[in-house]
Amino acid sequence: MTDLPPLVVFPHKRISGVDALENGQWVNRKGYPVVGAPVCPAEALLWGYDTDSHFVGYCVPGTTDPHPRLNKRSLPELIKQNIEPVLNWFIVDVDNPEHQAWTNPVSAFHQLEKELQWKLGDYGAQVGLYLTKCGYRLVTPITDPKPVSKAEKILTGYVLWLLSCGIEADESCTDWTRMFRAPFVVRDGVPQRYPARFTWLTTPNNQQTS
């Protein structure tokens, strides 16, 4: 797949969001410091991080580094300024029953690949997939980005479709501002190296299963 959307990756999830763009500066009106993140290529999903890095499914078109985390209340003003953010990734979590950790991640991953293809057809083979500590995450690029003013309706439809296919998608993932832990991070001092597969990346060795 060509022309993959960018990915905004923050060093951790405790990043203050911004409320407005004033005189070319991103502003948090409660006075919290604004920490931006780099706008990365989609291959950033394969990178190893030495922090508990999180990414989001949106970006502000034309914004260069550093890219801010957005609060929902920023949207009306951004729309007035003709700089509405866009949704460019479908990202959905699926939790294990009772949030149990994997006992054999590699075996579980291969089984999940088969289940997704059976439940979702050809799409199941194309969706990005990686295990998390107690479940898994589906990641799919949106090559025709959508304005975030329509994002929650679009994400709700996507989650409902997954549910109808037998995928126990987390319905809270309809929040377009949600942050998601990247695959290969350091969480609570422990490197996370669960299996992952992103078939739409052309980077060599884009599948990691150990």
Q: What is the pTM of this model?
A: 0.92
pLDDT score of 150: 97
pLDDT score of 97: 93
Q: Which of 3, 17, 6 is nearest to 178 (CA)?
A: 17
pLDDT score of 1: 53
* Residue 112 backbone dihedrals phi, psi, to 5 degrees: -65, -40
Q: Given its phi and psi angles, is residue 96 left (phi above 0), alpha (psi -120 to 50 degrees) or beta?
A: beta
- Domain map (residue ranges) of the chain: 7-200
Q: Which of 35, 48, 29, 78 is nearest to 176 (CA)?
A: 78
* CA 72 centroid distance within chain: 17
Residue in this structure with the two tokens 């054999």, named with its chain if needed? 104
Q: Which amino acid is at 31?
A: G
pLDDT score of 34: 84
Query: d(Cα 104, Cα 31) in Å, to the nearest integer?
Result: 46
Query: d(Cα 87, Cα 95) in Å, to the nearest integer?
Result: 23
Which own/partner contact pairs does 75-84 have at CB distance under 8 Å and 24+ positions apart? 75/148, 75/149, 77/19, 77/20, 77/21, 78/20, 78/21, 79/149, 81/21, 83/21, 84/147, 84/148, 84/149
pLDDT averaged over 10-residue windows placed end to end, the chain, 210 residues: 85 93 88 87 94 96 87 94 95 96 96 95 91 97 94 98 97 97 96 94 57
Q: Are strands 7-10 and 54-56 parallel, antiparallel or unpaired?
A: antiparallel
Q: With H, G, I as helix, E, B as strand and everything else as coil, classify residue 203.
A: coil
Q: What is the largest CA-CA distance in the chain?
A: 53
